[in-house]
Structure 1
Amino acid sequence: MKNVIRLHDKTFRVMIPAAQIDSAVAAVAERINADYRDKQLPLFIGVLNGSFMFMSDLMKKIEFDCELSFVKLASYCGTCTTGDVRSLIGLNNSIEGRHVIIVEDIVDTGESIEHMVRDLESRKPASISVCTLFFKPASYSKTVPVEYRAMEIGNEFIVGYGLDYDQLGRNLKDVYVVTD
């Protein structure tokens, strides 16, 4: 693990080591296992690109039969959210009557989650829950409940473990915070 890295024009330092992330993923998986083990074939929907590492590690810890799918939304440019959520790849599966768990890498303002939940509700699922690796309570401005929060953080801009800065840093196993 490098303690300091440089991506594009910014310097980052380690904020959360991989072992701490793994413990948080295991804890949130344990809660989901308890809540969904008796539900019929829940559907996990990962939000690309950021959730791919979290989704992969989370699925390895899920102890019941389930299905997976992915959608791709865009709302960031550089280090800031644009406030405009665009669907780049949509969901083709029927979710009517299904229990759906949205898997996000990070929830900050809540724009993406609100957009996605509105879209999914129109498809008549049995339930919709939100699971995120990182939750920024100080930034969150929506009313959609985020039931499964692996970790709460401040308003820092972070990269690693699927999160990026202009497409760099997703492959890092630790999470880094911008220093400049």
Structure 2
Amino acid sequence: MVGKAYLPSAEIAERVRELGAEISRDYEDLEPVLISILKGAVFFLADLAREITVPMSIDFIAISTLFQDQQEGMGSRRQVRFLKDLDQDVEGRHLLIVEDVIDTGLTLNYIIRNLWLRNPASLEIATLLDRPYRRMVELPVKYRGFTVPDEFFVGYGFDYKQKLRNLPDICELNL
């Protein structure tokens, strides 16, 4: 079931260190708010936060994306809703959304539009994995760990049926 390690933990750790150093330089004297989207990004967020050397705060959001079939073969409609919102006011703050993976970008675009309504000073994105070739909307991805193929991964926060998140490597899943 769990295939070979696509990204070994040592390679992930090295890239997270590099991203942490870059973010620290870019956010010097800005005290960013790191926003993690639950649940998958928590592992990346925890490691990234330990590598960032500037003062910051951390907050979380949780969302649900439902796909509803529309009548008469018109495809499906996405419905996104917040299950958990931020605990702090972010007006005038520098926001950094920390994501595990970005595919189409549709859900993240919804989150970004919602956060901009709260008048932050800035808003950027850090993602561990990126699939830009699947993107359906433009997103301001400033910090990118790895560009990856369209495979199903488990480990380091990525799950299969809420299991296997705890694997230290990012592994391919053979179903």
* Equivalent of 2:60 in 55, 58, 70: 70
Structure 2 stretches lacking a partner, 5+ long: 68-76
State the shift of 1:173 in Å. 0.7
Aligned residue number for residue 28 of structure 1 = 19
Match of 1:55 among 39, 45, 51: 45
Distance 2:66 2:164 in 1: 15
Q: Which aligned segments of 4 or more residues in structure 1 are displaced greater than 6 angstroms?
A: none
Q: TM-score normalized by structure 1?
A: 0.86
Structure-2-length-normalised TM-score = 0.88
Q: 3-state DSSP class of the match of 1:60?
A: helix
Deviation at 1:165, TM superposition (A): 1.1
Task: Give me the whole-angstrom Cα distance separating, in 2, the residues matched to 1:108 and 1:83.
Answer: 15
Please say if residues 14 and 175 of structure 1, whose CA atoms lie closer than 8 Å, have aligned partners that are also in contact. yes
1:83-105, Cα deviation, whole Å (9 max, x unpaired):
54332111131111000000011
Query: Within 5 A, what are the aligned runs for 1:63-102?
Result: 63-75=53-65, 83-102=78-97
The two structures, once aligned, show a CA RMSD in angstroms of 1.7
Counterpart of 2:115 in structure 1: which amino acid? L
Structure 1 unaligned residues grouped into runs of 5+? 1-5
Equivalences for 1:1-180 in 2 at 5 Å?
Answer: 6=1, 11-39=2-30, 41-75=31-65, 83-180=78-175
Query: How many percent identity over aligned positions?
Result: 35
1:125-167 residue CA offsets vs partner (Å, 9 max, x unmatched): 0000000110111112211211110111011111110011110
Q: CA deviation at 1:42?
A: 1.2
